Amino acid sequence: MQFTLLFLTLTTTLLSITKPTHAACFETGVSWSSIGTIYPLELLVRVCDEIVGEGSFAAGEKRHRCRPVSMGEQHVDYTVTRISGTAGVLTYGDCWDGLQKEIVGCSKGGSSSYSNWKYTSDPNDGPC
């Protein structure tokens, strides 16, 4: 657990220095500052395990996970969509990398497409 937290802290620090310029950041809504970024990044471990663990995506398939944060008063919506016209397999590394960019690079979450995949990480008020 301590290694995971250390890894996430170092990764977050490094990524915050080099924020991606290709993220389509949301301009309105809940900001990560009200939730923090460490816990949503920690949640990505399980979220990506679940999403990738379901196997191959069909063309256009969307997989969504909602995770409560802030004692259930807020939540984070994580979504990965296969945007190409063919089926494909998402790797754990691509899942984690795509979703974390919207946490680290966007103050209110965001949604971006990279090759065959669309990634969305979106903080929101209320329960899942």
CATH node for 2-125 = 3.30.430
pTM of the model: 0.81
Distance CA(28)–CA(17), nearest Å, equals 23
- Domain spans of the chain? 2-125
CB 80 within 8 A of CB 101: no
Tell which residue, 63, 34, 47, 27, has the closest CA to residue 97: 47
pLDDT in single tens digits along all 128 residues of the chain: 444 444 444 444 444 433 433 459 999 999 999 988 899 999 999 999 999 999 999 999 999 999 999 888 999 999 999 999 999 999 999 999 999 999 999 999 999 998 899 999 999 999 99
Distance CA(87)–CA(56), nearest Å, equals 7
